[in-house]
Amino acid sequence: MAVGAPHIRFKSAVKISAYATALTAFFSVFTHISPVFPAAFIALLALAFYFDFKNPSHISRLAINLVSVIVIAVSVYRVMTEDIVEPSVEALIILLAMKFLEEKKFRDYMQIYLISVFVLMGSALLSIDFTFFLFFVVMFFLTAVSIVLLTYHTESPELIIDRASFFKIVKRATLIPLASIPLTVVIFMILPRTNYQFLRFLNHGQVGKSGFSDTITLGSVSNIQLDTSPVFRAGMDPVDEQSLYWRGIVFDHFDGLTWKSSLREDEKPGNKNTLQGGKAVLQTIYLQPFDNKFLFALDRPVSVSYRGSRISEDFTVSLRDTVKTMIKYDVISKISVPQSSNTRSVPNNRYLQLPDNLPPQILSLAKSLTGGRSTDDAIKTIYRYLHSGLYTYSLDKLPTSDTPMSDFLFKKRSGNCEYFASAMALMLRAAGIPANVIGGYKGGVYNNVGKYYIVLQKNAHVWVEAFVEGTGWVRYDPTPPLSSNPLLAEKAELSSYRLIADSINYYWNSLVINYNFDKQLSIFNKLRIAVEKPVFNIKLKEIQPGWFYLALMPIVFFVGYHLLVKRKTVEERLISEFYLRLSKRGFVKKSSEGLQEFVLSIDDKKLKTEAMRFALEFQQIFYKDMKFTADNVRLLKDILSCLIPSSIKRKH
């Protein structure tokens, strides 16, 4: 190693790579666990870093082992009483941090790498979106490089190496995971899949909450509408914004505070909801996990493709069990349906139910608005009354007394969507017109990159359906479209960056997470057909873009490695050109010669002068570890041009 050349100690490199591996594992899970554990991890890791680099001393291994046993015991107790995954991951990151407090040898470093991998595996059970893939790739390369560095360190603990040689070792170490990528992709595509998720029991507690349960209490939706996290994504062509009502749950019973469905699922007739006419819209929906069994679809769904799903007569789609993991289902809805085709069974008194303690003022108001009018006129009169400007939309200071509807209509005159929908439904029923309240989502932002709608929690909404003889069930949305309504601000909040990031997650979910046995069969059938066809008859449109990009990934990795890793530096290109031009004059450098020694061996005086000028300028920059600036490169290229025209051929 040249005197004064930058050098690196393998002992320090191994320590830094171990810290980088542990931090990669930590960042993959820290947003999914209790805040006290990330704080403890950072504190312990900072203490270990101090011992490793500032004060070379370590805590007794016996004390660390004792604390580790306590951590494991507490974790086992929590696993027995709570969820399995989260307590296990929390215990692992504490054990990982404590490993750094020990005096580390080969075995300890290997344990650090192993625990880090287990933490990353735990993150896959907590959340398996595209960020998991990024952490996986980083961990994949880090562990490969770390193990190579650890091997050198074990052979010679005090080994010191120049920086250029060190980075050459690191670059070659990355070839190990790079070489495995094509095989990994092939194994992923051909490994048999099953639709039964046998590890589902591990993360039964990690269930997201949707905007709706099977009940709605007045004032509860406002909390949902402050949440900007996604509920589902619907792959489809764009439709008119007035059609973006995502039906979820039908509520028919109101006790003065809470809406619920009075029918059990086994009492709801299923798959009898045929509709005539209307525009059929196919949606491929990726629904986030939530603790309910209802599925969402454009109003009104007529067909759904998902194992165990059913469509009831009230156009609700449900499963036998709650949605505990992200699911994908296809659904066909009829939008812009002629009202005369919505005449499902004539409603009974269930749709006229009123709470026993309904304030008489509400009955009087309903009578004054609808008295002597036809059904159609009565509905429109109530709708116009709520839109007249007397009432305002608000998410704050909602009526939450024992008589919230009376307070909303006659005192505060301010509320969010469930107050408006409840008021209209109650007044319709008081006038003898059957009505329901529908819970779901309204709106969504269309992602032109991924060709899908993203629907957020803040899109949670309720509206009304009224039954008109000879016409059927008709949707009415009495909530006024004021600027304070969070639904109107959704597009401003979804930046182009977030939409692009969401597109990546969407394709990750559709191509990787939801890659199942059916897709495997489809791909194998297409490959079989392609093999049977003449090669040149295969049409490009028959190749699925997503799988084309996936198959292209190994090529991209290798090309990227060649361009970024194997590409010569500026100084390497300059010195190579220098030797090439001199070789064309018959002067070839021996492997044992230094640069100046080689130049001094040239017997052409003029050529030797120019070559020595280049050598001195080059060494002045290179051996002082200075950066080759644009001016330096320009000067050296000018000198090279004086050595020999590039067209002169090598002498023999």
pLDDT at 649 over 70: no
pLDDT at 488 over 50: no
pLDDT at 461 over 80: yes
| pLDDT for residue 521 | 65
User: Residues 234-247: pLDDT tens digits?
Assistant: 999 999 988 999 99
pLDDT at 373 over 70: yes
Residue 143: pLDDT band by 50, 70, 90 thresholds? very high
Do residues 255 and 403 lie in contact, with contact meaning Cβ atoms separated by under 8 Å?
A: no
Average pLDDT, the chain: 80
Q: What contacts 522, CB < 8 A, 6 or more positions away?
A: none
Q: Mean pLDDT throughout 467-483?
A: 83
Cα-based distances in Å from 368 to 120, 390, 411, 592: 65, 16, 18, 107
Residue 3: pLDDT band by 50, 70, 90 thresholds? very low
| pLDDT for residue 169 | 87
Helix-helix angle 130-155:10-27, to 10 degrees: 160
How many of the other CB atoms lie within 10 Å of CB of 444? Answer: 25
Do residues 37 and 78 lie in contact, with contact meaning Cβ atoms separated by under 8 Å?
A: no
User: Residues 586-619: pLDDT tens digits?
Assistant: 888 887 788 888 888 888 888 888 889 888 888 8
* Cα–Cα nearest to 493, from 228, 230, 240: 228
Angle at 397 between CA 394 and CA 398, to 5 degrees: 70
pLDDT at 517 over 80: no
Q: Mean pLDDT throughout 410-424?
A: 91
Q: Could you give the CA distance from residue 152 to residue 149 in angstroms, rounded to a whole number? A: 5
| pLDDT for residue 278 | 79
Q: Mean pLDDT throughout 618-630?
A: 77
More confident residue, 48 or 482: 48
Residue 51: pLDDT band by 50, 70, 90 thresholds? confident
Q: Could you give the CA distance from residue 87 to residue 460 in angstroms, rounded to a whole number? A: 32
| pLDDT for residue 471 | 82
Q: What percent of the chain has pLDDT over 90?
A: 26
Burial of 443 (0-12, 13-18, 19+ CB in 10 A): buried
Pairing mode of beta strands 435-442, 327-335: unpaired
| pLDDT for residue 208 | 45
Least-confidence region, from 83-92, 392-401, 437-446, 499-508: 499-508
| pLDDT for residue 560 | 59
User: Residues 260-275: pLDDT tens digits?
Assistant: 987 766 556 655 566 7
User: Residues 550-599: pLDDT tens digits?
Assistant: 555 556 655 655 555 455 678 888 888 888 888 888 888 887 788 888 88
Question: How does 62-74 read in b/e, with b if 16+ C-beta sit within 10 Å?
Answer: eebeeeeeebeee
Write out the two tokens for 403.
Answer: 């008589």
- Name the residue ranges covered by the structural domains of the chain: 7-173, 215-355+434-498, 570-643
Q: Could you give the CA distance from residue 50 to residue 64 in angstroms, rounded to a whole number? A: 17
Do residues 494 and 406 lie in contact, with contact meaning Cβ atoms separated by under 8 Å?
A: no
Q: Could you give the CA distance from residue 587 to residue 575 in angstroms, rounded to a whole number? A: 14
Q: Could you give the CA distance from residue 250 to residue 436 in angstroms, rounded to a whole number? A: 7
Least-confidence region, from 44-48, 205-209, 361-365, 463-467: 205-209
| pLDDT for residue 1 | 46
Least-confidence region, from 226-230, 297-301, 357-361: 226-230
Helix (H) and strand (E) counts in the chain:
21, 21
Most confident stretch, 180-184, 401-405, 538-542: 401-405
| pLDDT for residue 470 | 81
pLDDT at 640 over 50: yes
Stated as kind and residue range, the H or E segment containing 113 is: helix 106-126
Write out the two tokens for 629.
Answer: 């600036």
| pLDDT for residue 531 | 61
* Cα–Cα nearest to 121, from 142, 149, 140: 140
Q: Mean pLDDT throughout 519-540?
A: 59
Q: What percent of the chain has pLDDT over 70?
A: 76
